[in-house]
Amino acid sequence: MTRTALPSPLRPRALAAGDLVVIASLSGPLHSRYVPDLERSVTVLERMGFRVRRAPLLAAGRRHWWHAATPEEIAEEFNALLRDPEVRAVIAHDGGAAVLGYLDLIDVDAIAADPKPILGYSDISLLHLVLHARTGLVGFHADLATPGLGGAWQAAPEARRAELERLYARLLTSTEPIGTLPATPARECWRAGRSGRVEGRLIGGLLNRIALAQATRYALPLERFDGAVLFWEEMGSQAAHVWSYLQVLRHSGILDRISGMVVGVPREIHGLGGPDASPTLPELVLDVLGDRDIPVLGNVEFGHAGPNLPMPVGIRVALDARQRSLSLLEPAVRSAQGEAAPRP
């Protein structure tokens, strides 16, 4: 297969101490019982050195169906944040199921003119993938504010919490590559591949959202997957659904183009490894991959199952399945004095 030159990623400007980070309802509503978690997330961000503001739609009890507001209202507020030069980063308070409703209402010209880190996972995966497709924006598949910084982080051991705070602050403020991401013994090499180690751009998110994004007119061109390291996680699903989503990626040609795969810690996937000869997740993944001899690293610390390692979409990484390591080879942000990357 002939590999084509890929456009450069559009890196946001690096944050500095005192910069404004806004927590916004980019998908689901804020339930009253999670207000304490939201307050704790503000404390975490302030401890990293940032000013924090809550966007107006982030009001406990406000909702439209399962959304924080109508798609038009969410898009209006999101676009205002993208256009506001004082706002240097936006973090979603939670996931949900609203982003599909406003993908066509986002001001992509504002992103190209002043790219900013957008943080979140789950439904926010759609934003990362679609905005990367449309502008080249590096998306920060990272913890959400309320269930992540204010929830899962607080339940983690103190050393792990401090490690994550340093990692996130460095990712957002440093123009030097992070290097090897911290690992836990839970990681597993599911397939070593021919060499065990590959390099490529990191592309992925929540598995069902990857499939949904590719079904829209804003899908990533297949060329963006050439040599990419595909990362994904899934929660609240059935093993058969996971198998089906992976089959969608196979039929679309994505699995024929990637150089490696990284799978997050699964959560609430029913029908895995049960007493009725159900497959394990590694067996399911390798069944779909067939004879594609690429490295596959499993149980990596991102997704719905706990505190997330940040996975910057579009950044070049090194995956070594034998050593069970993942390294960020490029910075996710650019110098404040530097020029933004050209729009693809």
Task: Give the C-alpha separation, 202 to 302, whole Å.
Answer: 14
The backbone torsions φ and ψ at residue 115, rounded to the nearest 5 degrees and listed phi first, read: -65, 135
Band of pLDDT at residue 343, cut at 50, 70 and 90 = very low
Amino acid occupying residue 223? E
Question: Taking 80 as the threshold, does the pLDDT of residue 2 lie above it?
Answer: no
Burial classification of residue 5, based on how many CB atoms lie within 10 Å of its CB (0-12 exposed, 13-18 middle, 19 or more buried): exposed
Share of the chain above pLDDT 70, in %: 96
Strands (E) across 171-323 are located at 179-180, 188-191, 197-206, 229-233, 235-238, 260-264, 267-270, 296-300, 311-313, 316-320
Tell me: do 190 and 160 sit in the same domain. Answer: no
Question: Taking 60 as the threshold, does the pLDDT of residue 172 lie above it?
Answer: yes
| Residues spanned by the domain of 167 | 20-173
249, part of any domain: yes
Tell me: do 147 and 26 sit in the same domain. Answer: yes
pLDDT in tens, 177-216: 999 999 989 999 999 988 789 999 999 999 999 999 999 9
Tell me: do 123 and 162 sit in the same domain. Answer: yes
Tell me: do 127 and 250 sit in the same domain. Answer: no
Which of 71, 138, 140 has the alpha carbon at shortest distance from 105?
71
205, part of any domain: yes
Tell me: do 205 and 157 sit in the same domain. Answer: no
What is the total count of domains within the chain?
Answer: 2
pLDDT in tens, 40-83: 999 999 999 999 999 999 998 888 898 899 999 999 999 999 99
Task: Give the C-alpha separation, 125 to 210, whole Å.
Answer: 7
| pLDDT value at residue 9 | 94
Query: What b/e readout covers 205-235, taking b as 16+ CB neighbours within 10 angstroms?
Result: bbbbbbbbbbeeebbbeeebbbbbbbbbbbb
Average pLDDT, whole number, for the chain? Answer: 93
200, part of any domain: yes
Tell me: do 159 and 220 sit in the same domain. Answer: no
Q: What is this structure's pTM? A: 0.94
Tell me: do 243 and 316 sit in the same domain. Answer: yes
Tally the residues of the chain.
344
Tell me: do 270 and 135 sit in the same domain. Answer: no
Task: Give the C-alpha separation, 40 to 148, whole Å.
Answer: 10
Contact 55, 152 (CB under 8 A): no
| pLDDT value at residue 336 | 77
Residue after which a domain boundary falls, among 146, 173, 200: 173
338, part of any domain: no
Domain of 169: which CATH number?
A: 3.40.50.10740
5, part of any domain: no
Residue after which a domain boundary falls, among 173, 199, 215: 173
Question: Taking 70 as the threshold, does the pLDDT of residue 6 lie above it?
Answer: no
| pLDDT value at residue 262 | 98
| pLDDT value at residue 273 | 77
Q: Residue 319 forms beta bridges with which residues?
A: 198, 326
Tell me: do 27 and 87 sit in the same domain. Answer: yes
Tokens at residue 2, please? Answer: 């002939």
pLDDT in tens, 268-325: 899 887 777 689 999 999 999 999 999 999 999 998 988 999 999 999 999 999 999 9
Domain of 314: which CATH number?
A: 3.50.30.60
Tell me: do 51 and 195 sit in the same domain. Answer: no
pLDDT in tens, 102-122: 999 999 999 999 999 999 999
230 Cβ contact list (under 8 Å, min separation 6): 203, 204, 249, 254, 255, 258, 260, 261, 262
Task: Give the C-alpha separation, 164 to 100, whole Å.
Answer: 30
Tell me: do 24 and 169 sit in the same domain. Answer: yes
Residue after which a domain boundary falls, among 173, 197, 212: 173
Tell me: do 112 and 158 sit in the same domain. Answer: yes
